[in-house]
Structure 1
Amino acid sequence: MKAVISFVMLMLGVVSTDMAGECDMASFYTELGCTPVARADGGLCPESFTCPDLHPDPTKCYYKGVAYADRSPIPQPLISNPCSQACSCSVFAGEPQFSCAAVDCVETFDNDMQQQCIYTYEVDSCCSTGTVCGKDAIAQLKTCEVDGKTYREGETYQPKDTRKTCVCTADFNATDNSANCRDINCGIEIHYQSDLLQNCAPVFPGNMRGCPIGFECQNAKTKVVRGLNIRNLTASCVFGNTTLIVGDEVTVEDACTTCTCTVPPFVTCMRKNTCDHTN
């Protein structure tokens, strides 16, 4: 029987520091609809989360708690990630997953245009929605000063210690830009549906505050190494069909990736940006 994996509604209001931007795994868990377990010392960052059963029926896909049968589409207005378009459930060989249409943004490929123009965005857009070309036209754009950097009108930025993406606008206000910002959504359930079903471990590059770049799943070569629960936490992690306590590690085939039960209930993996595979 698949183990039930044990959300904080983040305000889109004043752009300031928030739990998702400051705390390891908070953004990941928030996106999955998990609830933080308050720390005994009252600190900002939770030591664990409680998550709903992400797959009550393993033969269906799930997005935000709603079940989708094979070939059923997610209504586009319900999808939080603007780069996920025309997504539908597909169940193949007993594994549910979502398939989405490919989104190719012109700015990704048009290097010549980038040298002469700047691309402009809207807060809910995946790709650029316009361009401003020519030195004179670009010079006339309003600017926004954020965290020591200058952005031109229409350009996007991510305020420090937040998990929000914002658009610089002509009416920029350094204290409140809620209308011009949205929460960053990684599309975890859409891109990693089968990995969540198997209780796999998300892999992060650099830190655990952004989007995962993949998942490590239990197999014949993975092994649990018992560690010390120094913080004496009672919450546990689930990896495949194995239960771990805080401090336990999981060895995986990629020598550049370290997986640990740190912020339950998911085991989390960190991949080194530079790594010698021979070590």
Structure 2
Amino acid sequence: MPSVKAVIGLVICILGSVSTDMAGECNMASFYLELGCTPDVMGTNQPCPQSFTCPNLHPDPTMCYYKGVSYRDKAPIPQNAISNPCSQACSCSLFNGEPRFLCAAVDCFETFDSDLNQQCINTYELDSCCSTGTVCGKDAIASLKTCEVDGKSYREGEMFEPLNTKKTCVCAAGWNGTVDDPTFCRDINCGIEIHYQSDILQGCAPVFVGDMRSCPIGFECPSSDNKVIKSLNIKNLSAQCVFGNMTLTVGDEVTVSDTCTKCTCSVPPFVNCVRKNSCDS
């Protein structure tokens, strides 16, 4: 009979794999998981959670919050606590009474060789924001190890994002196709709390392009012109979305000024918006 520790370890392992699959395959899951929200119980026929329960993300409007830790005006986030390598030297700032994080600008001067006879590729390390090296010359590039992922070939040092995951990986000699190996892959962190601190405080809605499994490109915030378009709650869910001071049931839409953007209550508690890649209006 397995020991209690073994059973607990198995459960943690299963939950970890579920979380990874959820982030890459379920709409809004990576957004909520990054904010520390927990998925509500799913039915046997529901592979993705239909709603999440979030902690109080901003209990004090005069403070900044990151991963549940509060920061006063001008207080810095320790660099080792930041999960996004492109977010550097971030500190809380109260601007017109609204909390936000200000970070140092990171400019990546990647090398693009215009000489077709001297082909070059940029190489990366897993915890780097910008490229950390360059390999030039056809022979040097041909000698690099390759990784075959999702029908594409990547050379040693190149970065890639496997399909249906929320991971970024670096091709290396020992790559075995396992995205959960921290040697080769890490979770993609969008820096939502760092870049959209005041939007979260105001109850704004994240805006996505395409599916709702990538990082948001911005937020739609409430205004006096918003109107709720009621819909039938086909899923019969009791969970609701909050948009500013408005409450929506699943299926309801809220109008916004950008006609190319559709905002819906689909996975509570946040309203989510999707912007069309092309728009006729």
TM-score of the superposition, structure 1-length normalised? 0.91
Structure 2 partner of 1:57 = 60
Match of 2:276 in 1: 272
1:270 maps to amino acid: V
Q: CA deviation at 1:186?
A: 0.2
Look up the match of 1:46.
49
Instruction: Report whether the alignment pairs 1:28 with 2:31.
Output: yes
Is 2:70 the counterpart of 1:67?
yes
| Unpaired stretches in structure 2, ≥5 consecutive residues | 1-11
Structure 1 position 276, deviation (Å): 1.8
**Matches of 2:38 and 2:228, distance apart in 1:** 26
Could you say which residue in structure 1 is the equivalent of 2:164?
161
Q: What's the counterpart of residue 237 of structure 1?
A: 241
Partner of 1:260: 264
Residue 4 of structure 1: aligned partner? none
What corresponds to 1:5 in structure 2? none
Q: Select 2:213's aligned residue among 196, 209, 213.
A: 209
| 2:229 is equivalent to residue 225 of structure 1 | yes
Contact preservation (8 Å) 1:223, 1:251? yes
Q: Distance in 2 between matches of 1:12 and 1:49?
A: 16
Q: Secondary structure at the match of 1:172?
A: coil
Contact preservation (8 Å) 2:210, 2:275 = yes
SS, match of residue 30 in structure 2? helix
Query: Structure 1 CA distance, aligned partners of 2:121 and 2:41?
Result: 44
Give how far 1:40 is off: 2.5
SS at match of 1:203: strand
Amino acid at match of 1:70: D
Residue type at the aligned position of 2:236: N
Provide, for residues 119-169 of structure 1, a one-character-per-residue CA deviation record: whole Å limited to 9, x for no partner. Answer: 111111111111111111000000000111000000011111100000000
- Asked if 1:139 corresponds to 2:142, the answer is yes
1:180 paired residue number: 184
Shift of 1:220: 1.3
Residue 13 of structure 1, CA deviation: 8.1
Q: Per-residue CA shift, 1:178-204, capped at 9, x if unaligned?
A: 121000000000000000000000000
SS of the residue 1:137 aligns to: helix
Size of the aligned set, in residue pairs, is: 267
Give 1:96's aligned residue.
99
Is the 1:222–1:250 contact (alpha carbons within 8 Å) kept by the matching residues of 2?
A: yes
Query: Where does residue 7 of structure 2 map in the other structure?
Result: none
CA distance in 2, matches of 1:246, 1:252: 18
5+ residue gaps, structure 1? 1-8
The aligned amino acid for 1:273 is N
Q: 1: CA distance between counterparts of 2:45 and 2:222?
A: 35
Partners of 1:101 and 1:262 in 2: CA distance: 35
CA contact (8 A) 1:222 1:252 kept: yes
How far apart in 2 are the matches of 1:114 and 1:88?
42
- Residues 246-257 of structure 1 aligned to structure 2 (within 5 Å): 246-257=250-261
Q: Is the 8 A contact 2:169 2:179 kept in 1?
A: no
- Is 1:112 the equivalent of 2:116? no
Q: State the secondary structure of the residue aligned to 1:70.
A: coil
For 2:5, the equivalent position in structure 1 comes to none
**Is the partner of 1:262 in helix, strand or coil?**
coil
- Would you say the 8 A contact 2:37–2:53 is kept in 1? yes
**Distance across 2 between alignment mates of 1:114 and 1:44:** 49
Higher relative contact order structure (alpha carbons within 8 Å, sequence separation ≥ 6) = 1
Taking the aligned partners of 1:256 and 1:74, their CA distance within structure 2 comes to: 36
